[in-house]
């Protein structure tokens, strides 16, 4: 599209400025990054009135669209930045600031030969593009992680939060500027049309993190050659084994399905061992009835569940086992063994998080080993699959990919490494000619002097 013009487009300029900022950030110290985070926080606090004014404008526009039936009430709710939420945003920056500096961590130190020393040292990936919908506080959280990890970030927010995001990023950049931190470390692009052009900036963008609907993630994965980190579906399963404790099963299934059904780590399928049909399933069914969950059950489980008082049960159809309901609906299937449960999950799951409820350690071991998902849980709710709950301090997203980072991704997922090799005039020729031999001695206590 830009072939005829020599002038870079707005998006090209944004991407190039991000690359320049990312290069400049290669020399910032830990204390400069922490000062930048403090300045961001201070500036956001000072700009609170202006930000909330912008947020109110977004919310009224969204309410008008809600009245027209164009967006959902939950989307309007997620836009809100006022009250305790704003304080939470500020606290979040302090919490990222308090994390250890991930840059410079040395994960390998090896003597290659006398006077020739190798180090593998953590460094930022470079330029990250995060595409997110609604939830304007995500802009602040991601910007904090970017600054802490010395990555430049291009934020592409949703249309509904346009004014809120603009006010937040304006304050963030003012904060960065006030302490002479590269302000292009955080940039915002807003309109929907720009996504396509962002996906073409493979020279200046190193990683795209989409946070949003399935449709968004799939569109992005299919339309860029930049690496993508994220997840499309979140089809999590809970398997109730033959030795499952009925009370643990009831508690965990209800928590995994009903505690907050609209999220990717909520359960969508319950697998039940045939031997647990008459012992455990009625207890779980009663708890699900109380939680208002509708079950879509196969014949064997329906025969049992139909007699649970107040429980809505309908016949399952094949597509239900591949569906992320994101509401109070749970597909149910009976299996004859832990291996059948494993096979079902590996075939129909999305590699996000799956749980076995059992008192049998052998079955748990097999399930945890053979289920090919980012999270494999024993007697614990799938809802724990979250960077904050697992203690990563902050989260850029959950990855169901099998490279780079998997599961809930915190600061570590924004890092890569470089190899530093320090010599004294070393050449490969004597080793190739066989005059000298490489030593390859690990020296874990030695840190890079340069």
Supply the minimum distance, in Å, between the C-beta of residue 412 and its own copies. Answer: 9
Is 114 one of the binding residues for its own copies (CB under 8 A)? no
Residues between 330 and 359 with contacts to its own copies, criterion CB under 8 A: 346
Residues between 188 and 207 with contacts to its own copies, criterion CB under 8 A: 206-207
Task: Pick between residue 247 and residue 307 the one whose CB is nearest to its own copies.
Answer: 247
Supply the minimum distance, in Å, between the C-beta of residue 172 and its own copies. Answer: 24
Which listed range, 49-57, 84-92, 156-164, 402-410, lies at the site for its own copies (CB under 8 A)?
402-410
- How many residues in the chain? 450
352 φψ region: left (φ > 0), alpha (ψ -120 to 50), beta (else) = alpha
Which of 78, 97, 135, 406 binds its own copies (CB under 8 A)? It is 406
Kind plus residue range of the DSSP H or E element containing 194: helix 194-198
Task: Pick between residue 173 and residue 231 the one whose CB is nearest to its own copies.
Answer: 231
Is 428 one of the binding residues for its own copies (CB under 8 A)? yes
Rounded (10°) angle between helices 137-149 and 30-46: 160
HSE-CB at 243 with a 13 A cutoff on CA atoms is 10
Nearest alpha-carbon partner for 311 in 266, 355, 357, 270: 270
Supply the minimum distance, in Å, between the C-beta of residue 156 and its own copies. Answer: 19
The footprint of its own copies on this chain (CB under 8 A) covers a number of residues equal to 77
Task: Pick between residue 302 and residue 420 the one whose CB is nearest to its own copies.
Answer: 420
Supply the minimum distance, in Å, between the C-beta of residue 197 and its own copies. Answer: 17
Which listed range, 46-54, 133-141, 179-187, 248-256, lies at the site for its own copies (CB under 8 A)?
248-256
DSSP string for 92-148: HHHHHHTSPP-TT-EEEEEEEETTEEEEEEEEE-SEEEEEE-S-THHHHHHHHHHHH
Q: CB neighbours (10 Å) of residue 196?
A: 14
Supply the minimum distance, in Å, between the C-beta of residue 294 and its own copies. Answer: 20
Burial zone of 160 (CB within 10 Å; 0-12 exposed, 13-18 middle, 19+ buried): buried
Task: Pick between residue 4 and residue 437 the one whose CB is nearest to its own copies.
Answer: 437
Residues between 138 and 177 with contacts to its own copies, criterion CB under 8 A: none
Q: Compute the distance between CA of residue 218 and CA of residue 66 in angstroms, rounded to an integer.
A: 26
Task: Pick between residue 111 and residue 178 the one whose CB is nearest to its own copies.
Answer: 111
For residues 206 to 245, the per-residue mask of contacts with its own copies, x marking binding by CB under 8 A and - elsewhere, is xx-------------xx--x-x-x---------------x
Is 74 one of the binding residues for its own copies (CB under 8 A)? no
User: Is the distance from CB of 241 to CB of 360 less than 8 angstroms?
Assistant: yes
Task: Enumerate the β-bridge partners of residue 271.
Answer: 239, 333
Task: Pick between residue 53 and residue 359 the one whose CB is nearest to its own copies.
Answer: 359
Q: Compute the distance between CA of residue 410 and CA of residue 442 in angstroms, rounded to an integer.
A: 29
Which of 39, 383, 394, 411 binds its own copies (CB under 8 A)? It is 383
> Which one-letter DSSP state was computed for residue 156?
E
Which listed range, 60-68, 81-89, 255-263, 277-285, lies at the site for its own copies (CB under 8 A)?
255-263
Residues between 6 and 65 with contacts to its own copies, criterion CB under 8 A: 23, 26-27
Nearest alpha-carbon partner for 250 in 223, 270, 265: 270
Supply the minimum distance, in Å, between the C-beta of residue 57 and its own copies. Answer: 31
Burial zone of 154 (CB within 10 Å; 0-12 exposed, 13-18 middle, 19+ buried): buried
Chain-centroid distance of CA 179 in Å reads 30
Task: Pick between residue 3 and residue 425 the one whose CB is nearest to its own copies.
Answer: 425
Task: Pick between residue 5 and residue 222 the one whose CB is nearest to its own copies.
Answer: 222
Task: Pick between residue 191 and residue 362 the one whose CB is nearest to its own copies.
Answer: 362
User: Is the distance from CB of 101 to CB of 29 less than 8 angstroms?
Assistant: no
> Which one-letter DSSP state was computed for residue 340?
H
Which of 70, 77, 85, 365 binds its own copies (CB under 8 A)? It is 365
Nearest alpha-carbon partner for 181 in 89, 287, 43: 43
Supply the minimum distance, in Å, between the C-beta of residue 332 and its own copies. Answer: 19
Task: Pick between residue 108 and residue 314 the one whose CB is nearest to its own copies.
Answer: 108
Residues between 83 and 112 with contacts to its own copies, criterion CB under 8 A: 110, 112
């Amino acid at each position: 599209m830009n072939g005829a013009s020599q002038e870079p487009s707005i998006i090209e300029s944004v991407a190039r400025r991000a690359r320049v900022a990312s290069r400049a950030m290669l020399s910032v110290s830990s204390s400069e990054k922490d000062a930048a985070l403090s300045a961001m926080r201070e500036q956001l606090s000072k700009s609170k009135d202006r930000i909330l004014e912008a947020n109110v404008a977004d919310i009224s526009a969204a309410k008008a669209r809600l009245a027209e039936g164009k967006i959902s009430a939950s989307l309007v709710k997620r836009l809100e930045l006022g009250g305790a939420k704003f304080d939470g945003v500020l606290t979040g920056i302090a919490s990222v600031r308090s994390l250890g500096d991930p840059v410079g961590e040395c994960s390998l130190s090896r003597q290659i030969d006398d006077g020739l020393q190798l180090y593998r040292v953590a460094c930022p990936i470079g330029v990250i593009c995060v595409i997110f919908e609604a939830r304007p506080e995500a802009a602040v959280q991601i910007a904090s992680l970017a600054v802490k990890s010395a990555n430049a970030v291009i934020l592409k927010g949703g249309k509904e939060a346009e004014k809120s995001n603009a006010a937040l990023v304006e304050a963030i950049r003012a904060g960065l500027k006030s302490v002479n931190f590269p302000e292009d470390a955080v940039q915002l692009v807003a309109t929907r049309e720009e996504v396509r052009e962002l996906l073409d900036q493979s020279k200046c963008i190193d990683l795209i993190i989409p946070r949003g609907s399935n449709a968004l993630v799939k569109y992005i994965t299919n339309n860029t050659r930049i690496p993508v980190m994220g997840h499309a579906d979140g089809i999590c399963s809970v398997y109730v084994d033959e030795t499952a404790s009925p009370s643990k099963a009831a508690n965990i299934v209800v928590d995994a399905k009903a505690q907050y059904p609209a999220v990717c780590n909520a359960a969508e399928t319950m697998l039940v061992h045939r031997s647990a049909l008459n012992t455990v399933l009625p207890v779980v069914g009663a708890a699900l009835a109380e939680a208002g969950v509708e079950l879509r059950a196969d014949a064997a489980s329906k025969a049992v569940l139909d007699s649970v008082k107040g429980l809505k049960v309908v016949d399952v159809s094949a597509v239900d086992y591949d569906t992320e309901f994101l509401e109070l609906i749970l597909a149910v299937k009976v299996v004859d063994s832990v291996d059948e449960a494993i096979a079902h999950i590996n075939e129909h799951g999305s590699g996000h998080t799956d749980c076995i409820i059992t008192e049998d350690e052998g079955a748990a071991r097999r399930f945890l080993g053979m289920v090919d998902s980012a999270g494999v849980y024993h007697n614990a709710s799938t809802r724990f699959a979250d960077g904050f709950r697992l203690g990563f301090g902050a989260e850029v997203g959950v990855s169901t990919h099998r490279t780079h980072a998997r599961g809930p991704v915190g600061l570590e997922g924004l890092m890569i490494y470089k190899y530093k090799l320090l010599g004294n005039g070393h050449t490969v020729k004597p080793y190739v000619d066989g005059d000298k031999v490489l030593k390859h001695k690990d020296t874990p206590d030695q840190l890079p002097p340069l």
